Chains A and B, each alone.
Chain A
Amino acid sequence: MRPDHPAADQVGSRLDPYVDRYAARALGMTASQIRALFAVASRPEVVSLAGGMPYVAALPLDVVGELMGRLIIERGAVALQYGSGQGDPTLREQICAVMELVGISAHPDDVVVTVGSQQGLDLVTRIFVDPGDVVLAEAPTYVGALGTFAAYQADVMHVAMDDGGLVPEALQEALADLAADGRRAKLLYTVPSHQNPSGVSLTPARRRQVLDICRQADVLVLEDDPYGLLGFDGDPLRALRADDADGVIYLGSFSKTFAPGLRVGWALAPPAVRDKLVLAAEAAVLCPPSFSQIAISTYLQSYSWQEQVKVFRKLYRERRDAMLDALPAALPPGSHWTRPAGGFYVWVTLPPGLDATAMLPRAVTARVAYVPGSAFFADGSGGTSLRLSYCYPEPERIREGVRRLAGVLDQEMQLHETFGVRGGLSGAHPRGQPDAPGPDLR
């Protein structure tokens, strides 16, 4: 605008009357062209290997329906009423029994029922993390946790992982680097079993090491365990919390073993923390949904729910196999990928130079979708990787999706060979909301 312009002092419109009133933490909440692409991924023409929706169609819906109908008729006056901020006492007892399966011995008084484990994550971050505080997390880490940490303006530092999970030496190094800077980490956030997004699990030996390191450094561990009962081989992996009641806050969920739509998870915390979590939970939502809690409690009590978990395990195992069988022929030389022993996801790392973020529009054109690796890093790095989920599509669709992905990768290799560089979309989100799909994407 030239200064001598006739209307140089004209005030424009920003189409948002609240633009100067938002909190600083809302600055990163912007539209993203990567997230917009997931709008296409939700269409049935697209094979979505992007979402993380459990395959709830495998539930005995007739049984669940009958159970819920009876629940309203017989206990509607309780199920439709407010409940305790800490959660239904009967359900908390049952949650303790569920946690015994991953080796945890706990008292129902130390359990706080939450609106999905995502709320547990939010509440723990709320009571522990001030803006600028350091949170350690695996590299890569769960995108929903990054969203929460961003909302509380945490400084997320990633710690390297390999096929055995979080690397203890890297954790020690990160803590030493922080100490050298006169800083400390408030939390280590970890998904030790069948991690989202990598599909990798922390080995038993490393579990002990990680606990020791955190105990010595006085870092609280936030263990997120939604997939703990969804291992494909043998007994469930022993939770970190099973071996450290004071240094670990444990988050559990019914979203993968039963139904995410009921939005029920829990936090298990030492008593002092638990009291604060209850107060924080009451401030946030008053109480977790009574209907959902009683429905889950009734389901656990009256249905062979562990047999149902076996059904899920078998189903997800078949889909994992379909994906792992299809990948070798589809991925370019120099790619590597994880072989998950449970959970929902395979993490693929492409040869150097290829960029899964820049490639996503082409994939959407080819009617296949995935989540670029950059979504799982606080700084938007990780663009050479991508997360493929096998939880929702049928095996034949998974095979078709991987076939389509192969064509996309072939073209991307050609582009890379032609130009010798990756595209320019990586790191497109400076901070704030990561470039990941919403929870309802198939």
Chain B
Amino acid sequence: MTQLRYALVLAGGLSHERAVSLRSGRRVADALAAAGVRVEIRDADAALLPALAAHPPTAVFPCLHGALGEDGALREVLELLELPYVGSLPDACRRAWAKPVAKAAVRAAGLATPPSVTLPRETFRELGAAAVLDALVQRLGLPVFVKPTQGGSALGSSLVQEREDLPAAMVSCFAYGDTALVERFVNGTEVAVSVLNRGTGPLALPAVEVAPDSGMYDYTSRYTAGTTEFFVPARLPDAVVHDVAAAALIAHRVLGLRDLSRTDLVVDDAGTPWFLEVNVAPGMTQTSLFPQAVVAAGLELGEVCRDLLTVAVQRHTRRGSDG
């Protein structure tokens, strides 16, 4: 039995999702403490590395959302420091973090993902926004979903029904990042499938269906308890339940993810699951989807997090003895 002397939860950071990250981190830390793990929570700032050097944790549980936490950079640093951590390797994070890259990878593996166009801000400036947007609408049709290629919590994202609303959506998107992903909107049932691997192979947890009162699963619907109805398991026929689970496992595998991930999909009226994006540091707040899936699977969040830390330590130990 691997001893977890003490675990460090990383939360906060400087991304737009800092507030969400702090809540995720607090929940994971509380769950770990309830599961009997000695745990500390710490921000990712200039004091982090000296603190890690002075008082190295047995393992790290990153709960940082947005850049640094999900783009692989933090994990590169943890690799440098040779600290065991929960979650995917840096290069896998980089693939998942860049939504167009992740979409291309899962498409190549046979999954459906809505047709999309990825364009940096400069393209519109250099070629003229109106002409580019016209071409975009001609190719994708309407409605479309506009979102930054990187980032989560639906920040900078909007559903565009009319051509005239597209410029404003682009400006909102470019407030959060320099490259936009414009994706054909697929109407249907929105589900999230969490994948968990506690050392015995990846397992798809029950799909969580989201039904926001506003019709849009935006920031407010995500983080205001009561404004979204969640169905776990999702209200889907058995065959489709199987398909969405399989899709999430494929995404997890082809992107080379490990330990945990959450894949967001939409199931159209024909029952086809469409891959939207995958998260390597899924939200862990009181209204987040991964913890709901854990509970629906009959598991305890604290025990799951503890097991993931244990797996990380064992992996690290094995690597040390191999090398």
- Classify the interface of chain B: helix, strand, loop or mixed: mixed
Q: Given A2-B269, A19-B226, are A414 and B125 also a contact pair (CB < 8 Å)?
A: yes
B175→A362 contact, CB < 8 A: yes
Question: Count of chain A residues with Cβ under 8 Å from any Cβ of B?
Answer: 48
B17 surroundings in chain A (CB, below 8 A): 36
Which residues from chain B sit less than 8 Å from chain A, CB to CB? Answer: 14-20, 22, 45, 121, 124-125, 129, 153, 155-156, 158, 165, 167-172, 174-176, 189, 209, 211, 218-220, 222-232, 235-238, 269, 286-287, 292
B211→A12 contact, CB < 8 A: yes
A2 surroundings in chain B (CB, below 8 A): 269
- Classify the interface of chain A: helix, strand, loop or mixed: loop
Q: Given A15-B226, A33-B155, A40-B18, are A424 and B172 also a contact pair (CB < 8 Å)?
A: yes
CA distance A36 to B19 in the complex (A): 6
A30→B174 contact, CB < 8 A: no
A416 closest partner in B (C-beta):
B171
B235 surroundings in chain A (CB, below 8 A): 1, 5-8, 10
A361 close to B (CB within 8 Å): yes
CA distance A361 to B219 in the complex (A): 14
Q: Given A36-B16, A43-B14, A418-B125, are A425 and B172 also a contact pair (CB < 8 Å)?
A: yes
B124 surroundings in chain A (CB, below 8 A): 418-419
B172→A415 contact, CB < 8 A: no
A32→B220 contact, CB < 8 A: yes
CA distance A45 to B125 in the complex (A): 31
CA distance A363 to B20 in the complex (A): 19
B224 surroundings in chain A (CB, below 8 A): 30-31
A15 surroundings in chain B (CB, below 8 A): 225-226, 228, 230, 286-287, 292
CA distance A12 to B167 in the complex (A): 36
CA distance A64 to B129 in the complex (A): 60
Which residues in window 399-442 of A have CB below 8 A to B? 414-425
A259 close to B (CB within 8 Å): no
CA distance A7 to B234 in the complex (A): 9
The smallest C-beta distance from B194 to any residue of chain A, in angstroms, reads 16
B232→A13 contact, CB < 8 A: yes
B121 surroundings in chain A (CB, below 8 A): 415, 418
Which of A12, A33, A36, A414 contacts B229, CB < 8 Å? A12
A178 surroundings in chain B (CB, below 8 A): none
B233 closest partner in A (C-beta):
A7
CA distance A355 to B237 in the complex (A): 46
CA distance A367 to B18 in the complex (A): 13
